[in-house]
Amino acid sequence: MLVTKCGQHLIETEGDSHAGEIETSRILHSHPSLVKGTAPREFPAFPSGILVRDKQKFWPGGVWGDPTKATAEKGAELEGLVVAALSELADQLENWEE
């Protein structure tokens, strides 16, 4: 994930993913009214090699990480890093020659 790579110095939560520190920080920055602030830290444990029908049984909160570590300031910095990395990638693709 691009944000994990370029923002690793900002991210406190190892294994952070869906609705955790990174995503919550980015939404706090861009759309703060969407963050309710009630989800606890969660790291689901799905059975290895098995597709589960009842995802909520293994992942009750829908969070994978620690949203309590999220801040709008961190989200703004992460957004800036992602935009810069995407801009650099676009430049590389534009100037690429075989």
For the residues of 41-91, what is the DSSP string, one character each? Answer: PB---PPTT---S-HHHH-TT---B-GGG--HHHHHHHHHHHHHHHHHHHH
Instruction: Look up the domain containing 72 and give its range.
Output: 2-43+59-94
Of all residues in the chain, the percent with pLDDT exceeding 90 is 79
Inside any domain, residue 81: yes
pLDDT tens sequence across 40-79: 999 998 888 888 889 899 899 999 999 999 999 999 999 9
Inside any domain, residue 49: no
Is the predicted pLDDT of residue 87 greater than 80, yes or no?
Answer: yes
Look over the chain and give the mean of its residue pLDDT values, rounded to a whole number.
Answer: 93
- The answer to whether the Cα torsion of 45, 50, 55, 58 is positive or negative is negative
Inside any domain, residue 36: yes
Name the DSSP letter for residue 20: S
In a 3-state reduction of DSSP, which class is residue 33? helix
Inside any domain, residue 22: yes
State how far the Cα of 29 lies from the Cα of 98, in Å rounded to an integer: 40
Is the predicted pLDDT of residue 1 greater than 80, yes or no?
Answer: no
Number of domains in the chain: 1
Is the predicted pLDDT of residue 7 greater than 80, yes or no?
Answer: yes
This prediction's pTM: 0.86
Q: What is the pLDDT of residue 2?
A: 84
Q: What is the pLDDT of residue 98?
A: 84
Inside any domain, residue 65: yes
Task: Please give the residue that has the higher pLDDT: either 46 or 95.
Answer: 95
